Amino acid sequence: MDLLFLGTSSGVPTKGRNVSATAVIEASGKAWYLVDCGEGTQHQLLHTPLSMRDLRAIFITHVHGDHCFGLPGLLASAGMSGRSEPLDLILPLDLHDWVRQSLAVSQTFLPFELRLHALETLEGWSSAHIHVSTIELSHRVPSYGYVFAEVNPDPRLDLERLQADGIPRGPLWGDLAQGRDVTVEGRLINARNYLRPSRPGRRIIVCGDNDNPELLAEVAKGADVLVHEATFTLPVLESSRTNYGHSTAAAVAQFAEAAGVPNLVLTHFSARYQNNPQRSPSIDDVRQEAAARYSGQLILAADLRRYHLGRDALLAEVL
């Protein structure tokens, strides 16, 4: 699985960072999922190899505009690019009418079926290769994280079972290996009964805004990657009167260290953190604060950077 960051700034865009959006890409390298859709997400996508036709579903973490104002434009463009497959959109119930109204009053008629699902009551969402579940977080408004778990990764034929069930060796095995059902002497053989995962499934958690990382304690057990906001550093938080429901790099790093998560990706940085390390405060302050408390693979997300979760279970940048 890969992660491609489309927007890594909190609240407002900067010249170097757009507002929130993260793509989760299947191990196959094609089908992908979008978590949050800040304004301008569709422009960011133009700089990536991702196609709107391969987008399987959109997941919105909470109602704030920097996480959803890009939806109407992105959906309209998906329509104009000729998408015909239905699209699942999981988002807070309060946003459903807004999406429908935005499309209706602008006379945007999508050539595909848009299926709206209420985030608050979602009991899990699945495609052939990914299962997505939710975890409730803490913010000024209800906010959630999404857990992406691979289903039956890199399936291989279960040879023992094939032989035990008397399925003759030959081209039929090839069909089953490709996931195609076959018929043997009038008997329908379901491919999925003969495919076994050849490695453990990966699990990636992509969070919405959250001021209490401890809420992730259960779901983080055994997870490969945690993508979490680090809007502030400790000194900045201490000098301001309120934290608006966000986390510091220190709090997230401490949590990830205690939970034993091997890969931590920080994102959603306050616009005050500058890319130039000579300026203050800079994004280097965020890195240093987290690195002092976390010994795993630490990544500070940047727009249009892509990371691959390899066989060694470590995230590595795809250049």
Q: Which residues are catalytic?
A: 66
Stretch that binds Zn ion, among 47-55, 110-118, 203-211, 247-255 (CB under 5 A): 203-211
CB 8, min distance to Zn ion, A: 11
Stretch that binds Zn ion, among 95-103, 173-181, 208-216, 300-308 (CB under 5 A): 208-216
* Closest to Zn ion by CB, 209 or 284: 209
CB 279, min distance to Zn ion, A: 23
CB 92, min distance to Zn ion, A: 13
Choose, by CB under 5 A, the member of 209, 211, 284, 289 that binds Zn ion: 209
| C-beta separation of 131 from 197 below 8 A | no
Q: What Cα–Cα distance (Å) separates residue 240 from each residue in 217, 272, 287? A: 28, 13, 20
* Closest to Zn ion by CB, 11 or 155: 11
The residue count of the chain comes to 319
* Closest to Zn ion by CB, 9 or 263: 9
* Closest to Zn ion by CB, 209 or 211: 209
Cα 180 to Cα 171: distance, rounded to the nearest angstrom: 11
CB atoms within 10 A of CB 222: 10
Cα 233 to Cα 104: distance, rounded to the nearest angstrom: 42
Stretch that binds Zn ion, among 84-92, 157-165, 181-189, 202-210 (CB under 5 A): 202-210
Binding mask 46-85 for Zn ion (x = CB under 5 A): --------------------x-------------------
For 123, the token pair is 């009991």
- The SS3 of residue 198 is coil
DSSP string, 211-273: S-GGGGHHHHTT-SEEEEE--B-HHHHHHSS--TT--BHHHHHHHHHHHT-SEEEEE-B-TTS
- Residue 150 binds to Zn ion (criterion: CB under 5 A): no
Which residue ranges make up the site for Zn ion (CB under 5 A)? 66, 209
